[in-house]
Amino acid sequence: MDKIKKILLDINYSFYALVLASFFCILGSFIVYFNPKLYNTIDYKALFKWLYYNQSIKNFWLYLVTIIFVYLGISGFYCLIYDFKRKNIFTLIFHLSFLLILVAHLINSIYFYKVSDYIIPEGVPKTINLPESDKPIRVFLDKLNYDITNEGFIKNLKADLIYLEKDEQKSGKISINNPLKIEGKYLILKQASPFLRSITFKLRSEERLIIPVLTPEGPFNIDGVLFQFLAHNEDMSAFKVLVIDGDKKETMIWSLGQNVNIKGQSYTITQIIPDTIGSIVVDIVYDPSVYLIFFASTLFVFTSVIRFFEKG
């Protein structure tokens, strides 16, 4: 027992453990870099869950680094007792904050998740379903504020949201670098983008074909022919539309000047009028470790500075 205790308190062992962890992390970073397919979901799941669902020999470094940090955690705990006995207050807090960082990261590695790229259109109630059987987030984009620079870039993006928390209606603001916490989850604003509400295809001077996009309860029906919007290109000059005429289903790309055949009659698209509204794109993050990790790391920074002035 004394021998184990001696090893755990030995500075050289701690140094070599940290060097070994560094070595495996360096190796791991190259494995991550050259295997993007395997690791493309690692930033979206808790580490241990990710390891469970992505079993691969290439993940050996993650297991080894975890084992080394378990050793460092135990060693740090023994150092803590040693510091306490010797009344080294700042060194004690220094080691304690390191242990708290490890505990926080352990919590993160068990519970964290992130879901990406949810579009919330302006003025439309949106329910966002979450993984891990978590309660969905119900949110409504009330107002979108932004400035356009001379070069045409969006700046100072801010959004006013109305959301339900514990069945109570609340309001909050979200902007870049300022997430909004709803029911313990963080809504992270990524960008604003125009969102297509409907497209009007002008076929002849008086005939218009309006295809709704935002609330596609089902295909849009004109004279027995069903039209359903599928996708559009970036500048909204071409649209993929599913046309269902009786048993006949056809996916068509509609763009300006194109001839469209409806019920045997040919029409030319003379104008495309997309009706867009504002929307925001958000990520949703659940990370119960975040307060602890920032508290512990702040403590770590302070005690390292104090130790410098204390010991020189």
Residue 186 near residue 292 (C-beta atoms within 8 A): no
Q: How far is the CB of 106 from other proteins (least distance, A)?
A: 13
Encode 63-94: b = buried (16+ Cβ within 10 Å), e = exposed.
Answer: ebbbebbebbeebbebbbebbeeeebebbbbb
Q: Which is nearer to other proteins, 97 or 228 (CB)?
A: 97
Q: Which is nearer to other proteins, 19 or 253 (CB)?
A: 19
Residue type, 218: G
Q: How far is the CB of 18 from other proteins (least distance, A)?
A: 3
Q: How far is the CB of 151 from other proteins (least distance, A)?
A: 4
Supply angle C-alpha 21, 22, 28, rounded to 5: 90
Q: Which is nearer to other proteins, 255 or 298 (CB)?
A: 298
Q: How far is the CB of 186 from other proteins (least distance, A)?
A: 6
Q: Which is nearer to other proteins, 114 or 232 (CB)?
A: 114
Plot region of 264 (φ>0 → left; ψ -120 to 50 → alpha; else → beta):
left
Q: Which is nearer to other proteins, 45 or 232 (CB)?
A: 45
Residue type, 55: Q
What is the contact surface with other proteins in residues (CB under 8 A)? 11-12, 14-19, 21-22, 25-26, 28-30, 32-33, 39, 42-43, 112, 114, 149-151, 153, 155-157, 175-179, 186, 188, 283-285, 287, 290, 293-294, 297-298, 300-301, 304-305, 308, 312
Q: Which is nearer to other proteins, 220 or 278 (CB)?
A: 278
Strands 180-182 and 265-268: what pairing?
Answer: unpaired
Q: Which is nearer to other proteins, 80 or 188 (CB)?
A: 188
Q: How far is the CB of 153 from other proteins (least distance, A)?
A: 5
Q: How far is the CB of 163 from other proteins (least distance, A)?
A: 17
DSSP 182-238: ETTEEEEEEEEEEEEEEEEEE-SSS-EEEEE-SS-SS-EEETTEEEEEEEE-TTSSE
3-state helix, strand, coil in the chain (%, to 5): 40, 40, 20
Residues composing the chain: 312
Q: How far is the CB of 66 from other proteins (least distance, A)?
A: 13
3-state secondary structure of 306: helix
